[in-house]
């Protein structure tokens, strides 16, 4: 399933020029709405988080089902977001952590009710997913024609109908895949952008340097900045990296289990098959040997003496593996700062 997801993202052009135009349209719409609200509010405070959440949710939904949330669909999105907020609070609560580490505890009276409540949380999400799936299947049956897939749902249905399909490709697994993508993408990307705004508000020096780099890039450019300019935006990339390092998005990453007995660190530690592992990423992100003064916001730590972006093996804010969030963050930063 993981391989299918990565191949489908590549087919759809996620993270490349294939979907860049649509992502730019979503960002431009958010900037216009925000600008209009600033004028209407006459200097009063604005909850930027609402705009960020909608943008991220629309981006993920566009990948899954081919469309962004419009004004008439905000009730559906708000219910999805509220459900994920509740699920996130439960998973990182004391009771939630214990149940994740030792599921057998769910049979005890103290934990049973909490487990039942958590088990029922995804129901509104699955209702929304079922609606999109049923509508798409009905549309495909009516048209009865083969087209290039426009989203992840099309890719999945094509795979189910192909000769290479196996029992793993069923709608239960697709709903689970969508749920995971929505949950993981919405919170981590939204929190990264929120912390970015906070850090820049508190550090005018960094804000000015970021603005200067983007002003230089946008000069002579007639359209919104995109991925083609990213290699020239070293300071912008350094700011993104430093935000993700310092805000410590996932102090404890998702739990995993060892699939077989294993020895690590030259046999110093032995982990038995089935051992639950909770990666504590903050130990790496705040390692003073790698990042001096780790609790200070210093984007320059990610630049070498020539101003080129540096890479650190210890910089894994989301853990190990492929990630697609960084392009969305890059789009938003560059175009938000070049709109005024």
Q: Of the candidates 13, 7, 128, which has an alpha carbon nearest to the alpha carbon of residue 65?
A: 128
Confidence of residue 339 (pLDDT cuts 50, 70, 90): very low
Q: pLDDT by residue (tens digit) across 236-294?
A: 999 999 999 998 877 666 677 899 999 988 889 999 998 888 778 888 899 999 999 99
Among 22-36, 86-100, 276-290, 317-331, which stretch is predicted with the lowest mean pLDDT?
317-331
CB < 8 Å & 24+ apart, contacts of 218-227:
218/338, 223/24, 224/24, 224/27, 224/28, 224/335, 225/331, 225/334, 225/335, 225/338, 226/17, 226/20, 226/24, 226/331, 227/16, 227/17, 227/20, 227/327, 227/330, 227/331
Coil, strand or helix at 169:
coil
Those residues whose C-beta lies under 8 Å from the C-beta of residue 296, and which sit 6 or more positions away, are: none
End-to-end, the C-alpha distance of the chain in Å comes to 43
pLDDT of residue 185: 81
Give the whole-angstrom CA distance, residue 98 versus residue 215: 50
Q: What does 63-105 look like in DSSP terms, one character per residue?
A: HHHS----GGGHHHHHHHHHHHHHHHHHHTSHHHHHHHH-GGG
Tally of CA atoms within 13 A in the half-sphere of 51 that contains its CB: 21
In angstroms, the CA 321 to CA 207 distance is 30
Candidates 22, 3, 10; CA nearest to 328 is 22
Whether the pLDDT of residue 25 is over 50: the answer is yes
Query: What does the pLDDT read at residue 10?
Result: 74
DSSP string, 149-166: --SHHHHHHHHHHSTT--
Question: Sorting pLDDT into bands at 50, 70 and 90, what band is 20?
Answer: confident
Nearest to 282 by CA among 319, 309, 255, 311: 319
Q: Are 219 and 175 in contact (CB under 8 A)?
A: no
The domain limits of the chain are 1-188, 203-340
Provide the pLDDT confidence category of residue 126 given band limits of 50, 70 and 90.
very high
Band of residue 203 on the pLDDT scale cut at 50, 70, 90: very high
Count of other CB atoms within 10 angstroms of residue 24: 16
Taking 70 as the threshold, does the pLDDT of residue 328 lie above it?
no
Q: What is d(CA 289, CA 45) in angstroms, rounded to the nearest whole number?
A: 40
Q: Report yes or no: 275 and 257 within 8 Å, Cβ to Cβ.
A: yes
Whether the predicted pLDDT of 184 surpasses 90: no
- More confident call, 146 vs 28: 28
CATH class of 1-188: mainly alpha
Tokens of 109: 């009276």
Separation CA 334–CA 340 (nearest Å): 11
Using 50, 70 and 90 to split pLDDT, how confident is the model at 340? Answer: very low
| Cα separations in angstroms, 309 against 75, 210, 227, 242, 315 | 41, 14, 16, 12, 13
State the sign of the Cα–Cα–Cα–Cα dihedral 88, 239, 28, 36: positive
Stated pTM of the model? 0.81
Under a CB-based contact definition with an 8 Å cutoff, are residues 60 and 81 in contact? no
């Amino acid at each position: 399933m993981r391989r299918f997801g990565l191949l489908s993202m590549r087919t759809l052009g996620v993270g490349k020029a294939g979907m860049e135009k649509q992502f730019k349209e979503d960002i431009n719409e958010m900037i216009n709405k925000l600008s209009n609200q600033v004028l209407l509010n006459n200097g009063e405070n604005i909850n930027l988080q609402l705009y960020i959440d909608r943008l991220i949710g629309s981006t993920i939904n566009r990948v899954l089902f081919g469309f962004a949330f419009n004004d008439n669909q905000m009730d559906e999105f708000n219910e999805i977001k509220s459900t994920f907020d509740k699920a996130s609070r439960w998973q990182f609560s004391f009771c939630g952590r214990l149940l994740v580490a030792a599921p057998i505890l769910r049979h005890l009276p103290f934990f049973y009710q909490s487990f039942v409540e958590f088990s029922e949380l995804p129901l509104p999400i699955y209702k929304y997913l079922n609606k999109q799936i049923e509508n798409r299947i009905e549309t495909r049956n009516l048209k009865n024609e083969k087209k290039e897939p426009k989203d992840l749902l099309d890719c999945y249905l094509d795979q189910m109908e192909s000769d290479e399909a196996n029992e793993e490709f069923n709608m239960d697994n697709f709903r689970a895949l969508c749920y995971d993508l929505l949950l993981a993408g919405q919170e981590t990307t939204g929190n990264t952008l929120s912390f970015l705004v906070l850090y820049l508000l508190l550090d005018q020096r960094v804000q000015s340097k970021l603005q200067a780099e983007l002003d230089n890039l946008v000069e002579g450019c007639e359209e919104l900045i995109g991925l083609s300019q990213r290699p020239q935006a070293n300071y912008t990339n350094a700011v993104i990296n430093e935000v993700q390092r310092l805000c410590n998005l996932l102090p404890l990453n998702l739990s995993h289990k060892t699939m077989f007995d294993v020895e690590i660190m030259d046999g110093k530690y032995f982990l038995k098959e089935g051992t639950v592992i909770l990666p504590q990423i903050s130990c790496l992100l705040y390692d003073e040997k790698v990042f001096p003064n780790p609790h200070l916001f210093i984007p320059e730590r990610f630049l070498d003496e020539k101003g080129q972006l540096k890479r650190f093996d210890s910089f894994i804010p989301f853990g190990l593996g492929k990630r697609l969030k960084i392009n969305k963050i890059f789009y938003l930063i560059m175009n938000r700062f070049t709109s005024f």
